[in-house]
């Protein structure tokens, strides 16, 4: 059976749901499409993630505007991936915040990532011509940055270590115990690890995320985890997915096997648990390919290009 490349055949619009997590705290989920969020300050808004295009972002802002008219002072980007950042211009934000490494990654590989993600997930790129160019953060940090929301207290942006990318950040509301985790945690959605640092992510990075003690968690994709137990389950699911990959790809590699064998082994083991979740088939070839490199000692992820995407897909999924 020939599997259509990545998510290129996934053309059916997803149902978007606005969830009010606390007074002035919003999340928009979409059945496994990238999640976005917003938090109200006294007289301004902080938006979290920008979607793939300004046209897609404008749809989200129209929903948000039914609840608040405050201007967007900060647009916070959890990491550099195109489907999270290229809609930024629609927000008219005073400040675009990201991690130092995110800015560097956009400079190094933002253009290739744009082309790669557009090929993999064309449906997310509503009116692609509305994208004015790469998104450049205007304020970056390395460890943490706190935004004073006024009455709602602080919003703490933190880098918990390398994980989904080199420069992930999470947004934490300590008073409400709400965490926007970006793609560091997925709740009932498959993990994309093609640009990841699997061992850091499964270890110290997720430890730091868990230590925050969130009671509500908005992951990169999938449903909002509500309650400490559901948050724990989402983090455990993320860790399990990574552990299975690390163990099995490592075993095949040590036994002198091939990348294709590693892919098939991981697929067989993860499919029963995660196969029905969004983008599982799409992600897995890229995930295993990067992990293979990582375990061979390739420190930083190789750059995905539209062409390399097709080659890896051809090799592993057909």
- Please report, as ranges, the residues that interact with Zn ion according to CB under 5 A: 81, 183
- Supply the minimum distance, in Å, between the C-beta of residue 79 and Zn ion: 6
- Supply the minimum distance, in Å, between the C-beta of residue 183 and Zn ion: 4
- Supply the minimum distance, in Å, between the C-beta of residue 266 and Zn ion: 19
- Supply the minimum distance, in Å, between the C-beta of residue 68 and Zn ion: 27
Residue 97 main-chain phi, psi, to 5 deg:
-105, 135
- Supply the minimum distance, in Å, between the C-beta of residue 41 and Zn ion: 26
Between 10 and 183, whose beta carbon lies closer to Zn ion? 183
Between 183 and 294, whose beta carbon lies closer to Zn ion? 183
- Supply the minimum distance, in Å, between the C-beta of residue 196 and Zn ion: 9
- Supply the minimum distance, in Å, between the C-beta of residue 40 and Zn ion: 26
Between 41 and 194, whose beta carbon lies closer to Zn ion? 194
Between 147 and 191, whose beta carbon lies closer to Zn ion? 191
- Supply the minimum distance, in Å, between the C-beta of residue 167 and Zn ion: 11
Contact 6, 309 (CB under 8 A): yes
Between 41 and 87, whose beta carbon lies closer to Zn ion? 87
Contact 144, 123 (CB under 8 A): no
Between 183 and 248, whose beta carbon lies closer to Zn ion? 183
Parallel, antiparallel or unpaired: strands 225-226 and 216-219: antiparallel
Between 81 and 126, whose beta carbon lies closer to Zn ion? 81
- Residue linked to tokens 């552990």: 243
Between 113 and 176, whose beta carbon lies closer to Zn ion? 113
d(CA 6, CA 119): 8
Q: Which residue is nearest to Zn ion (CB)?
A: 81
């Amino acid at each position: 059976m020939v599997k259509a490349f990545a998510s290129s055949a996934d053309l059916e619009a997803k149902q978007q749901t606005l969830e009010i997590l606390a007074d002035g705290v919003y999340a928009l989920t979409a059945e496994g499409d990238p999640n976005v969020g917003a938090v109200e300050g006294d007289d301004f808004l902080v938006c979290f993630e920008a979607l793939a295009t300004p046209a897609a972002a404008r749809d989200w802002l129209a929903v948000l505007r039914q609840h608040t008219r405050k201007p967007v002072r900060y647009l916070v980007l959890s990491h550099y991936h195109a489907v999270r950042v290229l809609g930024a211009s629609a927000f008219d934000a005073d400040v675009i915040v990201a991690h130092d490494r995110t800015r560097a990654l956009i400079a190094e590989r933002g253009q290739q990532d744009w082309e790669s993600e557009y090929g993999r997930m064309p449906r997310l790129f509503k009116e692609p011509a509305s994208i004015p160019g790469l998104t450049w953060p205007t304020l970056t940090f390395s460890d943490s940055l706190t935004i004073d929301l006024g009455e709602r207290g602080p919003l703490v942006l933190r880098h918990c270590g390398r994980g989904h990318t080199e420069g992930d950040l999470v947004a934490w509301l300590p008073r409400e115990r709400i965490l926007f985790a970006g793609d560091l945690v997925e709740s009932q959605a498959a993990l994309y690890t093609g640009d990841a640092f699997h061992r850091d992510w499964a270890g110290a990075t997720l430890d730091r995320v868990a230590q925050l003690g969130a009671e509500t968690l908005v992951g990169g994709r999938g449903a909002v985890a509500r309650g400490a137990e559901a948050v724990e389950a989402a983090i455990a699911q993320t860790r399990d997915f990574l552990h299975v990959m690390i163990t099995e790809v490592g075993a095949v590699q040590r036994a002198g096997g091939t990348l294709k064998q590693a892919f098939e082994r991981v697929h067989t083991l993860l499919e029963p648990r995660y196969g029905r979740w969004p983008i599982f088939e799409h992600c897995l070839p890229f995930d295993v390919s990067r992990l293979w490199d990582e375990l061979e000692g390739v420190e930083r992820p190789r750059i995905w290009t539209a062409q390399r995407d097709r080659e890896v897909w051809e090799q592993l999924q057909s």
